[in-house]
Chains A and B, each alone.
Chain A
Amino acid sequence: AQKITQTQPGMFVQEKEAVTLDCTYDTSDPSYGLFWYKQPSSGEMIFLIYQGSYDQQNATEGRYSLNFQKARKSANLVISASQLGDSAMYFCAMREGIGEAAGNKLTFGGGTRVLVKP
């Protein structure tokens, strides 16, 4: 079974509008972290936002916010006021467990390609 599922392979968004990127995850570990990364066409992986499983508040970083619904195991990324530079692949990722045994590895979803239209 997929641990991280991103159901939207691609989407268009109008400049200045908000966009929500879906991410659902599957884990039986009570301790986990959820991450979103952006990969522009230049190829680098840019960290956007993090949500810990025990965090009470939804994470926010500037125009990025994470809609964390623990019971539904979803961690959707919301980008407000889209800009042309937001056009990129977006990856949701999960780290399960804590401590050295967990290895701290990230499991990635398949990604969502976002194209912002002027």
Chain B
Amino acid sequence: DTAVSQTPKYLVTQMGNDKSIKCEQNLGHDTMYWYKQDSKKFLKIMFSYNNKELIINETVPNRFSPKSPDKAHLNLHINSLELGDSAVYFCASSPRTRGRAFFGQGTRLTVV
């Protein structure tokens, strides 16, 4: 009964490719996020969606495009992948205005 699930768990791809990571939460939360964890383990928010509406976009390159078809899903599409995109990407969700974030298990993206 996974609360926040993201797929795939591992993704290895070549530079220049386009890839997507999917995220689904079954907690009934209104807010979903994408975080990026770099090789030094630093975690930084990329996007935040509230009930399908984008509310935070933290100076992420245009090659990254989140899509929220409904409030339970938040997918991340990445165009023209670069070596520097290699990282672990975490999806998370939380109640609308407060409460802790529940994280997915992460997707380790390796661009070669």
Distance between Cα atoms of A91 and B40 in the complex (Å): 13
Dominant SS at the B interface?
strand
User: B96 within 8 Å of A by Cβ?
Assistant: yes
A44 and B105 in contact, given A103-B56, A105-B45, A111-B41 (Cβ under 8 angstroms): yes
Are A104's CB and B44's CB within 8 A? no
Chain A residue nearest to B43 (CB atoms) is A108
Of residues 34 through 68 on chain A, the ones whose CB sits less than 8 Å from some CB of chain B are 35, 37, 39, 43-45, 47, 50
Distance between Cα atoms of A27 and B43 in the complex (Å): 19
Segment touching B, from A16-24, A69-77, A78-86, A94-102: A94-102
Q: Which residues of B contact A44 (CB under 8 A)?
A: 103, 105-106
Are A105's CB and B48's CB within 8 A? yes
User: B102 within 8 Å of A by Cβ?
Assistant: yes
Are B103's CB and A45's CB within 8 A? yes
Distance between Cα atoms of A96 and B35 in the complex (Å): 17
Contact of B55 among A45, A47, A100 (CB under 8 A): A100
Q: Which residues of B contact A39 (CB under 8 A)?
A: 41
Chain B residue nearest to A48 (CB atoms) is B100
Q: Which residues of A contact B96 (CB under 8 A)?
A: 100, 104
* B31, B41, B90, B92 — most chain A CB neighbours (10 Å): B41
In the complex, what's the smallest C-beta–C-beta distance from A23 to chain B, in angstroms?
14
Q: Which residues of B contact A100 (CB under 8 A)?
A: 50, 55, 96-97
Are A35's CB and B56's CB within 8 A? no
Chain A residue nearest to B47 (CB atoms) is A105
Q: Which residues of B contact A33 (CB under 8 A)?
A: 98
Q: Which residues of A contact B (CB under 8 A)?
A: 33, 35, 37, 39, 43-45, 47, 50, 89, 91, 93, 95, 98-100, 102-108, 110-111
Q: Which residues of B contact A (CB under 8 A)?
A: 31, 33, 35, 40-45, 48, 50, 55-56, 58, 88, 90, 92, 94, 96-98, 100-103, 105-106, 108
